[in-house]
Structure 1
Amino acid sequence: MDRIAKILSFLESSPNDNFLQHALALEYIKIGEDTRARNIFEEILQVSPDYIGSYYHLSKLLERMEEVDLAVQWYKKGMDAAKAAGDNHAYNELQAAYEDLVY
């Protein structure tokens, strides 16, 4: 069974598991299913804005999709969420990626 099928089977019993949703989105990116991945990341962050890791991956994906303005917005939201959570490591990663994009 491939990774996507495994994750989908796990999601049947835990459909709201952010870790599994995030992992599924990353697998979709690997196979070039960027729109599917984007939708999953956006759903995660709509329901759980404190799921910090998804901000980085969504923003990077939006960069690749040439939606720079939207990527910038998500980086900023992610930095705000990381700061609120006291997650300095995530904040620094998001800030570095943001600055690479903007400057």
Structure 2
Amino acid sequence: MNNNRIQLLLQFIEEQPEDPFNVYALAMEYRDEQPDQALLYLKQLLAEHPTYLATYYHAASLLAEQGDRSGAEEIYERGIELAKAQKNEKAVQELSRAYRTFQDDDDY
């Protein structure tokens, strides 16, 4: 986790609150070392920028890691539907593959 980058991203968010990328980048900074903080930012994106497709993969993955299986399933499904609506076949494939892996993990 890079504190300088975090401070810079917080500044960018303050200057451009309508730009979802800055919040997404901030969530990714927290992803490995402070997943709870990352999830807060990802949930913020889901609420404030529901069409920002990149959010769905990471939000669902974090929810699954934290044991929120129903939350993860909902986010995977919403992300797949959004990717289809946006005609983003690569994202449909990536989210679908991650969702199948998630479902397979539940079978054990």
Q: When the two structures are superposed, what TM-score results if normalisation uses the length of structure 2? A: 0.87
Gaps in structure 1 of 5+ consecutive residues: none
Which residue in 1 is equivalent to 2:29?
27
Q: How much has 1:35 moved relative to structure 2? A: 1.8
Gaps in structure 2 of 5+ consecutive residues: none
Which residue in 2 is equivalent to 1:100?
101
**Hey, which bits of structure 1, 4+ residues long, moved more than 3 A?**
none
RMSD: 1.2
Q: How much has 1:78 moved relative to structure 2? A: 0.3
| CA distance in 2: counterparts of 1:26 and 1:47, whole angstroms | 17
1:86 aligns with 2:87: yes
| 1:42-80 deviations in Å (ceiling 9; x for gaps) | 111112221111000101111111212211110000001
| CA distance in 1: counterparts of 2:71 and 2:88, whole angstroms | 23
Identical counterparts, % of pairs: 32
Which structure's relative contact order is higher, taking Cα pairs within 8 Å and 6+ residues apart? 1
Which residue in 2 is equivalent to 1:39?
40
1:13 aligns with 2:11: no
| CA distance in 2: counterparts of 1:91 and 1:85, whole angstroms | 10
What residue identity is the alignment partner of 1:80?
E
| 1:15-55 deviations in Å (ceiling 9; x for gaps) | 2210000000010113x222221121111111222111100
| CA distance in 2: counterparts of 1:7 and 1:49, whole angstroms | 20
Q: When the two structures are superposed, what TM-score results if normalisation uses the length of structure 1? A: 0.91
The correspondence of residues 38-57 of structure 1 with structure 2, limited to 5 A, is: 38-57=39-58
Pairs aligned (count)? 102
* Counterpart secondary structure, 1:2: helix
What residue identity is the alignment partner of 1:98?
Y
